[in-house]
Structure 1
Amino acid sequence: MFGMGNPPTPEEIKQQLTLGMLDLTGMLEPIYDAADGMRRDLESRGWSPTMAEKAAGTWLCSALASIMGGGK
């Protein structure tokens, strides 16, 4: 990743962190899309927008916690 024995510069750390965050954003997009689809589906089934949002939000938080290791 970085040169052998050479500590990374602040700019190199910033670049790696930025790239990692962009990669993570792309990987999580299907999860966000699933939550949006769940909300829309629940509303189409007659759920109130508030309850559909709450259910989808709860599912999304649980899915993200599981992905990040918080669901062990």
Structure 2
Amino acid sequence: MSQPTPEELAQQRHELSNALLTMAEQTAPIFDSADGMRADLEQRGWSPTAAEQVALAWLLGAIRLTMGGAS
């Protein structure tokens, strides 16, 4: 297998950058929801640690689902 040319490497970098930007845009609402959940739980009197743990568990499940995993 031959080494990629500089042009091919540049194209691969460009495609990877675009894919990462797209992923960041598409996952932002999930992170925002987790932040809101944590803040809401704290307003309801939950301790910051407990609220963070619940929000983190929800966030991990949501990310797993968006990446095609089972719940």
Tell me the number of residue pairs that the alignment of Structure 1 and Structure 2 aligns: 65
TM-score normalised to structure 2 length:
0.87
Whether 1:40 aligns to 2:39 is yes
Alignment of 1:17-32 (within 5 A): 17-32=16-31
| Match of residue 67 from structure 2 | 68
Looking at structure 1, the residues matched to 14 and 48 of structure 2 have their Cα atoms a distance apart, in angstroms, of 40
| Match of residue 50 from structure 1 | 49
Runs of 4+ in 1 over 6 A off after TM superposition: none
Q: Give a deviation string over 1:1-39, Cα, whole Å, max 9, x none.
A: xxxxxxx70110110010010011011111000000000
Which runs of 5 or more residues in structure 1 are unaligned?
1-7
Q: Tell me the SS of whatever aligns to 2:45.
A: coil
Identity rate, percent: 43
TM-score normalised to structure 1 length:
0.86
Across the aligned residues of Structure 1 and Structure 2, the Cα RMSD in angstroms comes to 1.2
Looking at structure 1, the residues matched to 53 and 44 of structure 2 have their Cα atoms a distance apart, in angstroms, of 15
Higher helix share: 2
Looking at structure 2, the residues matched to 21 and 61 of structure 1 have their Cα atoms a distance apart, in angstroms, of 19
Looking at structure 1, the residues matched to 66 and 12 of structure 2 have their Cα atoms a distance apart, in angstroms, of 24
